[in-house]
Amino acid sequence: MIRLGRIMRNNGSFTDFFDKSSETLGPICQIKLGPFAHMVVITDYLEIENLLLRRHQSLDRSSYTVNLFKGILPKALLTLKTDEIWRHHRKLLSTTMTPKFLRTVNPNITRSAEELVKLWQEKSKLANGRSFEAELDLESATMDAICGIALGENWNIISGYTSKLSHCTEYSSRDAVIEDGKRNEIRFRLEAPELAESVWYIFNTVPLQNPFPSLTHYFISLSPTYKKHIKRIENFLKQKIREARSKASRFSPNVAEDMANNTLDLVIAKELGNDHKISDEEIKQELFQYLLAGTETSSTTLAWWCKYMTNNPSVQRKLRDHLQDKIPDYKEQGLNYDNLSPSNVPYLEAVVHETLRIARTAGGYLRDTKEDVIILGHYIPKGTTLAFPTSTGYQDNDSSYSNENQQDNRDRRVGYWQSGTGHLFDPERWLDEEGQFNATAGPSLPFSLGQRRCFGKNLALLELRVFIAHLNLAFFFAPIPQNLNGFERFDKIISHPKDCFIRPVSWDSEEVNL
């Protein structure tokens, strides 16, 4: 048994630890979390796949995950165990991930991506060749997109930023909005609308790395500041639910469903013809989960993508050429669900999946055993927490556990990565000999697998395709000073880059060909 504290001191974040664990501790190891708690970490990809796809009946949502989030989402998919209530929620929400619905809501993502392009054009002009931080802008833009998808309207966060900057020049309003950073970067001090600030505040109250998350959150929730923010969000969502119910009541269930152009309207419409109703409180929490999960994960993945582009100019150029070749009339036609499909733009899909693979935005996934199980020859008792790290995407056929005794005697659904390439950013690894995207080219677990995999996978992939395509066609991410270009990470609920500085320039800039 290995003590987690010692490992974390040596390796930093959970994600850093998972990156090292397979090398030093083997394909399965036990980690001591405290005096009475431990977890079993499994880094063997085939065994993870076997457990999540074929033996999922023996596993369920981790109690740690439930305790971590139940303070803010006690009745949402994220914290529900796999029971009839969970299945009912999942069934009601399943239509929101279908191609038909994603085509309907795609314009919300497009508008947000276009607004972000305008903001960065304005910032680049004011920065005058200096770098600026990108992650908050990405978080704001994805929140705009998710609000439009979930509620049919967004909070215009990005357009508000742009409007404020448009009144600035190099000389006026500098003290109020623009300031010099400590590392010679430009910093922009911009305020988001109150609702957005409240969502971020509540999200940041989740008591990570705390042995008693439920109790800790209870005391946090007693503060006047917490009560102010949660009341603001609840009042807003209650009003939106009342409006949606009133609108849907004027139509039959089928008509209401056909007319729905956002998640809330669709859930209300589906409920009209369903014998098992869902309460306003449950709908409110599922919507809040949408705002949290759909914003934080996508924006952080995009932040990592910006860093990879800055350090891989040849990938930027190839992606732009690819998009222009496959969607030659994108300026008139726009970028949509169909022309951004993996079959039409396979290199874009390769860039998306390579970013997800190497960024490891989610450091890992936790499950609890519902019964005694045998894993890789080891007896694991009921109630044990299992950790499946996403760093399995680094595995290649030189990995220490990729030997005849462990790997080669089992059927492989996915391939290996080329020897020694697991840690390299290389979208080409996802393309077959014909240049088509191959989702099973090698191991990667950005959304987990099986029954409890990430519910929003299809929406997340669409968000990434739309944002990456728009940003790539608009900007070349020019080199930045080395003191701003580190790849250290820190873990909150997900794994963020410590620095995410960019210097976007137009494609007709002289720097593009340097």
Cα 70 to Cα 90: distance, rounded to the nearest angstrom = 18
Pull the structure tokens for residue 498. 């410590």
Minimal CA–CA distance to 363: which of 6, 14, 7? 14
> Is 454 annotated as contributing to ligand binding?
yes
Strands 38-42 and 59-61: unpaired
Q: Which two tokens stand for residue 320?
A: 């732009």
* φ/ψ (deg, to 5) at 229: -70, -45
**Helical ranges in 343-494 per DSSP H:** 346-359, 457-474
Query: Contact, 13 vs 489, CB < 8 A?
Result: yes
Residue of 354, 326, 358 whose CA lies nearest to 339: 326
Distances (CA, A) of 15 to 139, 448, 493: 21, 15, 11
Residue type, 19: D
User: Going along 147-274, which residue ranges are E strands?
Assistant: 178-180, 186-188
> Among all chains, which residue has been given the structure tokens 């940041």?
204
DSSP state letter for 418: P
39 vs 368: CA distance, rounded Å: 9
Measured CA to CA in angstroms, residue 203 lies from 73, 138, 208, 230, 365 at distances of 10, 16, 11, 10, 19
Report the phi/psi class of residue 128: left, alpha or beta, with left for phi > 0 and alpha for psi in -120 to 50: left
Question: Side chain identity at 334, as an amino acid letter?
Answer: G
What residue type is assigned to position 470 of the chain?
A: H
Instruction: Compute the distance between CA of residue 371 and CA of residue 203 in angstroms, rounded to an integer.
Output: 33
Binding site per annotation, positions: 454
Residue list for the binding site for heme: 454
